[in-house]
Amino acid sequence: MEYIKARIRDVKDFPTKGIIFKDLTTVFKDPRALHIIGWDLSQMYRDKGVTKVVGIESRGFIGGSILAFELGAGFVPARKPGKLPADTIRMEYDKEYGKDVIEIHRDAIGPDDIVVLHDDVLATGGTMAATYKLVKSLNPKKIYVNFIIELTALNGRAALPEDAEITSLIKY
Ligand code: AMP
């Protein structure tokens, strides 16, 4: 894990003043770090019968795809509004300034699915909470929640249901 941590780049005041952005591009560009990420993420879900991984646009697409590939599961994108071409369902949620929307294809997940929701960073948890509700409405058998990084000071876990099973590789 030290190998990964050493490659996470802190970018001050991005995208706005006061934010320290955890940049994972410096992890993903390193072949060994990318391999470790795929292996470590998948180890947490090996015996769970996962059928689909939902990656949240856009940074969640990277780790989510790797995780799906490692688990032999399918990959499903959760996207910003208007990006998905077929019939979608949507969930609106509050952001620091104004509202945002997340969408998923209506036929992407069904009652036989065991799903992992993945994003790169857990901050306030708003984005993941909305995605959780969206996927829940499609009635899968089980939903797990996963991040590469968890910013514990922001207590994003509180935004998610109490019984949600949440894992993160690295906590700050
Ligand atoms: P959240 O506040 O948990 O809804 O986070 C919103 C989105 O922004 C998530 O997709 C996170 O990956 C990303 N994000 C929020 N804060 C940071 C941060 N400090 N560094 C990197 N990504 C962040």
Task: Write out the chain in H/E/C secondary structure.
Answer: CHHHHCCCEEEECCCCCCCEEEECHHHHCCHHHHHHHHHHHHHCCCCCCCCEEEEECCCHHHHHHHHHHHHCCEEEEEECCCCCCCCEEEEEEECCCCEEEEEEECCCCCCCCEEEEEEEEECCCHHHHHHHHHHHCCCCCEEEEEEEEECHHHCHHHHCCCCCEEEEEEEC
Asked, for residue 16, whether it belongs to a domain, the answer is no
CATH number, domain of 103, equals 3.40.50.2020
Rounded distance between C-alpha atoms, residue 103 and residue 106, angstroms: 9
Backbone angles phi, psi at 16, to 5 degrees: -135, 165
In a domain, 131, yes or no: yes
- Asked if the structure places residue 127 within a domain, the reply is yes
Residue with tokens 């993420």: 41
129: in domain: yes
Q: What residues flank ligand 1, with Cβ below 6 Å? A: 19-22, 56, 59, 119-127, 156
What mean pLDDT is predicted for residues 102-127?
A: 97
Q: Which of 9, 54, 101, 121 to mutate to test the pocket of ligand 1 (most atoms within 8 A of CB)?
A: 121
Domain contains 100 = yes
d(C-alpha 168, C-alpha 84), whole Å: 28
pLDDT digit string, tens, across residues 6-28? 999 999 999 999 999 999 999 99
Q: Whose CA is nearest to atom 7 of ligand 1?
A: 127
Domain that holds residue 139: 48-171
Domain total for the chain? 1
75-104 mean pLDDT = 94
Read off the pTM.
Answer: 0.97
* Residue 97 pLDDT grade (very low, low, confident, very high; cuts 50, 70, 90): confident
CA 127 to ligand 1 center in whole angstroms: 8
- Tens digit of pLDDT for each residue in 44-89? 999 999 999 999 999 999 999 999 999 999 999 999 999 999 999 9
Instruction: Please check whether residue 24 lies inside any domain of the structure.
Output: no
Residues known to be catalytic: 59, 96
Rg (the chain; Cα; Å): 15
- Residue 84 in domain: yes
Closest by Cα among 25, 6, 15 to 120: 25
Q: Does residue 130 belong to any structural domain of this protein?
A: yes
